[in-house]
């Protein structure tokens, strides 16, 4: 499975993780346990980065609501912490894949309609190239959009209406 550029998805995935924590605050303990295990397998204390230590303190001492607020905050300090967040990497492969696929599927309508931000398009296309289930979802949306475009009734406005509108401007 091709994850594409995980960093490009991380902002939206932080918000998805926050939503998951809202649904199940016990996930905070799961993240704390996974980070503790990662740190325990490090060859030495020096091999554990400051960011991991900072996030370990956050995950062990902060309440779920405080962590959720941090993940949803857009302040400069919160953004700095979000950039160093290990949460995405603490997810299992299947959890990470599901979150990325959910994010891609959320954007597929805009992508198919050619309304997706150009900065997001390359990463989405890279993901689609390696993900058959998202490819199928994109094809389904594309087929549905084509069906609607083919069957849409188009009415031509009367010439008098155009003249009235132009006169009122």
- Rounded Cα distance, 85 and 109, in Å: 29
pLDDT at 3 > cutoff 60: no
pLDDT score at 9? 57
pLDDT score at 131? 92
pLDDT score at 153? 80
pLDDT at 80 > cutoff 90: no
Tokens 């230590």 label which residue?
53
Say what the pTM is.
0.61
- Rounded Cα distance, 55 and 9, in Å: 20
pLDDT score at 143? 92
pLDDT at 49 > cutoff 80: yes
Mean pLDDT of the chain: 85
The token pair that represents 69 in the structure block: 């607020």
Question: Structural domain boundaries of the chain?
Answer: 6-151
Q: How many CB atoms lie within 10 A of CB 117?
A: 10
DSSP 43: S
pLDDT score at 90? 86
- Strand, coil or helix: 48: coil
Could you report the per-residue pLDDT of 112-162, keeping only the tens digit for each? Answer: 988 988 888 888 999 999 999 999 999 999 999 888 888 888 788 888 998
pLDDT score at 10? 56
């Amino acid at each position: 499975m091709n994850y594409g550029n995980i960093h490009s998805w991380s902002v939206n995935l932080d918000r998805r993780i926050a939503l998951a924590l809202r649904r199940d605050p016990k996930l905070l303990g799961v993240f704390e346990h996974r980070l503790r295990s990662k740190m325990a397998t490090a060859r030495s204390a020096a091999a554990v980065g400051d960011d991991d230590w900072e996030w370990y303190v956050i995950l062990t001492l902060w309440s779920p609501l405080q962590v959720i607020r941090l993940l949803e905050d857009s302040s400069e300090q919160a953004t700095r912490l979000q950039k160093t967040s290990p949460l995405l990497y603490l997810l299992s492969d299947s959890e990470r894949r599901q979150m990325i696929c959910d994010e891609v599927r959320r954007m597929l309508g805009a992508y198919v309609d050619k309304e997706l931000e150009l900065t997001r398009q390359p990463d989405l296309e890279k993901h689609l190239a390696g993900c058959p289930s998202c490819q199928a979802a994109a094809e389904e949306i594309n087929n549905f959009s084509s069906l609607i475009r083919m069957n849409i009734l188009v009415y031509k406005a009367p010439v008098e209406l155009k003249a009235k509108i132009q006169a009122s401007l």
